[in-house]
Structure 1
Amino acid sequence: MSTTMASSGLLFRSCSSLSVAAAIRSTTSSAAHHPTSTFSTISTGVSPARLTAPFSSSSFSSPKSPFLSSASAVRTFSSSSTTRFSTSAVAMAQTPTDTLIELAKARRTYYKLSNKSPVPDSKIEELVNSAILHVPSSFNTQSTRLVVLLHKEHERLWDIIIDAFGGLVKTGAIPEEMWKNQTLPKLQGLKAGVGTILFYEDPAHIAPLSEKFALYKDHFGPWAEHSNAMHQYYLWTGLESLGFGATLQHYNPIIDAPVASAYNVPSDWRLIAQLVFGAPAGQPGEKQYKPVEERVKIYGKE
């Protein structure tokens, strides 16, 4: 097991590194969920497969979209899985803004996950490090903390969570029928993924600012959670670009104490959310959209 704690607030734990899975998703899939051609088509002797283009911090300096490539893979994407994106369509999306929009569209909730990883663990770590370094925070507090659990450590986490909920079943807090038919199958499904990112807030970096700027003292907590949410979105979308599906969960505070004990998390860190990810083993549900006109107002448009 390797463990690395960075001063920026990243705890990375993994029992193993997986090699790139060359045949995770076939290009013949009827509903691949990625919007842009970030995969190269290769021959495996079995069926065409796609590998994620390397994720690199240097790619952000490119004037072109950092996630696009000239690969010949055909992608399928839309909320209704009917719009097909080919390299000819991708070639038209030359700006980082175009790519950002397409990745935002592709980020969906995947409940059915498998433990087949499309990229090496180092790519996940690189993505997480980029989030902790570059996602902004109010007054530059940098109070978000991330704990990354992969493979066996990920499975261990969900065993801990299952045990915590099992205790509630014994006390009658959760009905036995609900546990067997709903809660337990969902938790076991989350355990089937590749990894989990735990999002924490460290209040030690918020308190001094609350004292220094008394006028805003009641706002620093919410502002910190705004930054935490940006980390969640950044990583959810970034994992999507690497070939993962993910789902954001909130089992705190039920799991706070046993998880903190298992992974030596400081007692004053506050757990906010859990982002579970793996190779998609199913498709996301249909998403309904409320009218944009009811949710956005623009003044002064020319």
Structure 2
Amino acid sequence: MTHFNDLQEKRRSIYALSKEIEKTDDELFQLVKTAIKNTPSAFNSQSVQAVVLTGDAHDKLWDMTLNELAKVSSSEEAFEQTTQKIKGAFQSGYGTVLYFTDQKIVQGLKEQAPLYADNFDDWAEEAVGISLYAVWLALAEAGIGASLQHYNPLIDEAVKQEFHIPENWVLRGEMPFGAIKAPAAEKTYTDDDARFKHFK
């Protein structure tokens, strides 16, 4: 088995995170930048933008998320369960990567290549997926656990105001990361015959 396949198996959704990691903030920032810069995007649009939060900024993000969730929670019991999840699986980590799509770039592509205009939103989503997967693999290679969350669009406005995000950047996902306190459960797979076909 190749190193890449080994790495794919190593990359899992890790929810038992802590703040005790060996890399510096600058090293983590460089890891994220390098992974995203080398990912493909339609027309080389580079529409994916990222913000790395560590320290107080990371903690503040999840406090803000809880504040927004409190406004829409169905009950006190439900909110308490959500609070435990946020604090125990996300805020307990070392940092968070925020992924954005620059809609100004996407709109510009629609105007430049109208023949493909209906496809650019889908292609931008593909670019986000490729980018976050690349970062996830890079974190896994470094022995750092992560998961992918989607509290957008609930937290969009609070994030924009707090971290001075450009108006044309649209939040597409949040990736808390940190030291791995406990591994993920064993992964199960759908039967190959139900997913894959090969014609010769």
Alignment equivalent of 1:187, drawn from 53, 74, 86: 86
- Between the two proteins, the alignment pairs up a number of residues equal to 199
Alignment equivalent of 2:5, drawn from 101, 104, 110: 101
The answer as to 2:143 corresponding to 1:243 is: yes
Q: What is the CA distance between 1:122 and its match in structure 2?
A: 2.7
Q: Which amino acid aligns with 1:126?
A: Q
The equivalences for 1:62-81 within 5 A come to none
Q: What is the CA distance between 1:286 and its match in structure 2?
A: 2.4
CA distance in 1, matches of 2:133, 2:182: 21
C-alpha contact (below 8 Å) 1:118/1:243 kept by paired residues: no
The answer as to 2:197 corresponding to 1:297 is: yes
> After superposition, what is the alpha-carbon deviation per residue over 1:219-238, rounded to whole angstroms, capped at 9, x for unaligned?
10110110110011000111
> After superposition, what is the alpha-carbon deviation per residue over 1:159-196, rounded to whole angstroms, capped at 9, x for unaligned?
11111112224xxxx2211111x211011121110000
CA distance in 2, matches of 1:286, 1:133: 32
CA distance in 2, matches of 1:131, 1:224: 17
The equivalences for 1:1-302 within 5 A come to 98-169=2-73, 174-180=74-80, 182-189=81-88, 190-300=90-200
1:84 corresponds to: none
Q: TM-score w.r.t. structure 2 length? A: 0.95
CA distance in 2, matches of 1:143, 1:250: 19
C-alpha contact (below 8 Å) 2:35/2:138 kept by paired residues: no
Q: What is the CA distance between 1:100 and its match in structure 2?
A: 0.6
Query: Is the helix fraction higher in 1 or 2?
Result: 2
> After superposition, what is the alpha-carbon deviation per residue over 1:71-102, rounded to whole angstroms, capped at 9, x for unaligned?
xxxxxxxxxxxxxxxxxxxxxx6xxxx11100
CA distance in 2, matches of 1:294, 1:168: 39
Higher RCO (C-alpha under 8 Å, 6+ residues apart): 2
CA distance in 2, matches of 1:112, 1:158: 16
> After superposition, what is the alpha-carbon deviation per residue over 1:11-54, rounded to whole angstroms, capped at 9, x for unaligned?
xxxxxxxxxxxxxxxxxxxxxxxxxxxxxxxxxxxxxxxxxxxx
Consecutive unaligned residues of structure 2, counting only runs of 5 or more, are none
SS at the partner of 1:270?
strand
Moved over 3 A (4+): none
Consecutive unaligned residues of structure 1, counting only runs of 5 or more, are 1-92
> After superposition, what is the alpha-carbon deviation per residue over 1:97-138, rounded to whole angstroms, capped at 9, x for unaligned?
x11100000111111110111322232122112123210100
SS at the partner of 1:156?
helix
SS at the partner of 2:153?
coil
Percent identity, please.
Answer: 35
Q: Which amino acid aligns with 1:185?
A: Q
SS at the partner of 1:245?
strand
Root-mean-square deviation (CA, aligned residues, Å) is 1.3
CA distance in 1, matches of 2:150, 2:120: 22
Q: Which amino acid aligns with 1:298?
A: H
CA distance in 2, matches of 1:183, 1:223: 33
Asked which structure has the greater CA Rg, the reply is 1
SS at the partner of 1:148?
strand
